[in-house]
Amino acid sequence: MFKKILCILMAAVLVLSFAACKDEISLQTGSSDDYSYDQGESSEPASTESEAPKNEVSSNSQTTSGDSKKCTNHNFVESEIITEPTTKIEGSKLLKCSKCGEEKTETIAKLVFKNNSIITENGVKKAVVKRINGSKINVNVVPNKVLFLGNSLLLGMSNYSYGMCATDAKNDYYYHVTQAILKKNPNCKFERAHIAHRFEAIENVKDFNENILNLPWKNNGEKSPALGDLFTKDLDLIIIQAGDNVNNAARKAAFTETCGKFVELIKEKCPKARIIWVYGWYQASTVEQTVIDTCAKWEMECISLASLHVPATEAKAGQPYETESGGNAIVNNDWITHPGNEGMKKVADAILNKINL
């Protein structure tokens, strides 16, 4: 009997020992159900991309600051422009959530160039002007005060008296345009300024930033108002004729960067002015895209003179012109690619057609 009891006890010990060994092996190797848990993952189900609100975060967005907990309802606002759009390429801007600081980028559509809308309001022709803050106002097509900004085509002969190479002051484009406006509004006031060396010919953007408003507009050292003094709040039409002296790589780079800045500066100082940009008697292909992009952004009109510049519209060798004293002289042969009287009339007609009096 004792032996039977002893055998039963020994069998029980063996069974218990085997069970203990099996548990130890299980703890060391782990089951497939326990593996992911042992790697430190949360017992909560992982969120998926489809569970997040649509269009909240682009694939290249990243959180830079703010609450570590992800927003359930982002409020993205524009933070900065990364790439300015043009009429050829899309731009991009950075958006930032005002709640958590998460960022994403967004595409800006290409600019679309279209001529300024002319509307009729109470029987009066109006042009739509986009202001510096993006809002729009309607201004009379027939102006009360006009500023012409240009190069030698505007002021080049007889100590900056009239445009090169008209034969006299009554044959340049400024005269033709002002006379047509005066027929509609005899009380209209006019001013003009030479900006070739103040704007077109700069080769360093710093020169534009520091000097564009402060220097006198005449390029021969003669005393004259600073360019900035001409930008007044009562201007309602500004005609910029510029780009012809952008004739090397440095000038082109500066022009590309400052063209838009020049318009913004004018819009800040002349909030109701309609602006028309005339370009391309020379260097049409060099400046065209910059002018078109700038005009498209601000919904301004522009006029290319490239098709008007042909031998028949140029000045002629041996052509006389009226000097400042009232005498006559012969044009220098270096000047004669400028518009002659016929060319000046065609430039004026192009501007007047755009003004649409």
Output the CA–CA distances (angstroms, integers) from residue 57 to 20, 97, 101, 106, 201, in the order listed: 54, 10, 12, 10, 45
Note the pLDDT of residue 320.
95
DSSP 248-299: SHHHHHHHHHHHHHHHHHHHHH-TT-EEEEEE-SS-HHHHHHHHHHHHHHHT
- Pairing of β 274-279 and β 301-304: parallel
Peptide bond preceding 165 in cis form (omega within 30 of 0): yes
How far is residue 332's CA from residue 316's CA, in Å, rounded to a whole number? Answer: 10
Note the pLDDT of residue 148.
96
How far is residue 246's CA from residue 287's CA, in Å, rounded to a whole number? Answer: 7
- Bridge partners for 140 per DSSP: 126
Q: Which of 168, 138, 247, 172 is nearest to 203 (CA)?
A: 247
Structure tokens at 132: 């510096």
Q: One digit per residue, pLDDT tens: the chain, 357 residues?
A: 544 554 555 555 444 444 444 444 343 433 333 323 233 333 333 333 333 333 333 334 444 444 445 788 888 888 888 888 877 778 888 898 988 888 889 888 776 767 777 888 888 999 999 999 999 999 999 999 999 999 999 999 988 899 999 999 999 999 999 999 999 999 999 999 999 888 999 999 998 888 888 877 665 545 677 888 899 999 999 999 999 999 999 999 999 999 999 999 999 999 999 999 999 999 999 999 999 999 999 999 999 999 999 999 999 999 999 998 889 999 999 999 999 999 999 999 999 999 999
Note the pLDDT of residue 68.
44
Rounded to the nearest 5°, which phi and psi values hold at 219? Answer: -95, 0
How far is residue 229's CA from residue 237's CA, in Å, rounded to a whole number? Answer: 16
Structure tokens at 339: 């518009």
Note the pLDDT of residue 56.
36
How far is residue 1's CA from residue 122's CA, in Å, rounded to a whole number? Answer: 128
Give the start-to-end residue ranges of the domains of the chain.
Answer: 56-108, 118-355
- Bridge partners for 162 per DSSP: 157
- As its CATH architecture, domain 118-355 has 3-Layer(aba) Sandwich (3.40)
CB 281 within 8 A of CB 153: yes
Note the pLDDT of residue 114.
72
Q: How many CB atoms lie within 10 A of CB 175?
A: 18
* Cα first-last separation, the chain: 132
